[in-house]
Amino acid sequence: MTTTVAAAEHRHARAVVELAGVTKEYPGGVKALRGVDLTVLNGELLAIVGPSGSGKSTLLHIVGTLDRPSAGAVAIAGHDIATLSDRALSALRSRHVGFVFQSFHLVPGISAQANVAEGLLYSGLSRAERGRRAARALERVGLGDRMEHRPHELSGGQKQRVAIARAVAGEPDLLLADEPTGALDSASGQSVMELLHELNADGATIAVITHDQEIAASLPRQVRIRDGEIVADLWNTARAEAGAR
């Protein structure tokens, strides 16, 4: 699955995520991450896969700048987060990272377009421009005909597409999808994964955090985590080459 060719190519592209020796320790001496090294390059589509309690959620929080490490270095889109204040870190997150969660996190009672525009609230864009970008993002995920629908009028798969549109509307450097199919039936889940592949083919850098080995195996790269450590980092050469075409 992994090849020296893939590894060589990996060394010569721009890094969106760089973790070096990252450890996260919580009160009581519980270490959720132990000396993690991870690089994610521009244009990658990968899975961070592991069982419950493996540390993948903590890794998501560190990569997404929702938390800081206890030790080690973290750089997101070339920015060393150790040098940033909490306010600057929040601005970095808003500009460079998009999130998709299992539970959608849509605002009830407002339209799909308004939900997507909410994700741009702190972008500095005018209200009209936020609306235009939200409309474009919904078109991009195949919901151009559902812009005025409210969450209760959408299926589970459509709600997740709205959540993905919200995450990509600001054109972040990195999209983090946390168990994006976990609340969906198999057909809707497959449709959402196909959409993530399409977004990646358009240039999006996407990390899918999952416990599902089948989903992980369908992606070009698998980073396997257990007990807070990366135990394998594998490239599926055929899928990586297909994604590059």
Q: Which are the contacts of 62, defined by CB distance < 8 A and separation ≥ 6?
A: 19, 22, 24, 33, 68, 69, 74
At 122 the pLDDT is: 82
Query: Phi-psi region for residue 21, left (φ > 0), alpha (ψ -120 to 50) or beta?
Result: left
Range name among 5-14, 32-41, 125-134, 189-198 with the lowest pLDDT average: 5-14
Locate all alpha helices (DSSP H) within 14-170, ordered by sequence.
Answer: 56-63, 86-96, 112-118, 127-140, 156-168
Residue 7 has pLDDT above 80, yes or no: no
Domains of the chain: 4-244 (3.40.50.300)
pLDDT band of residue 123 (cuts 50, 70, 90) is confident
Residue 3 has pLDDT above 50, yes or no: no
Digit-coded pLDDT (tens) for 151-187: 999 999 999 999 999 999 999 999 999 999 998 999 9
Using CA atoms, how far apart are residues 138 and 119, in angstroms rounded to an integer? 13
Q: Looking at residue 99, what DSSP letter applies? A: E
Residue 165, burial from CB neighbour count under 10 angstroms (0-12, 13-18, 19+): buried
Residue 6 has pLDDT above 70, yes or no: no
Q: Which are the contacts of 193, defined by CB distance < 8 A and separation ≥ 6?
A: 180, 181, 215, 218
Report the pLDDT averaged over residues 188-198: 95
At 236 the pLDDT is: 84
At 239 the pLDDT is: 56
At 241 the pLDDT is: 56
Residue 63 has pLDDT above 80, yes or no: yes
Digit-coded pLDDT (tens) for 92-102: 999 999 999 98
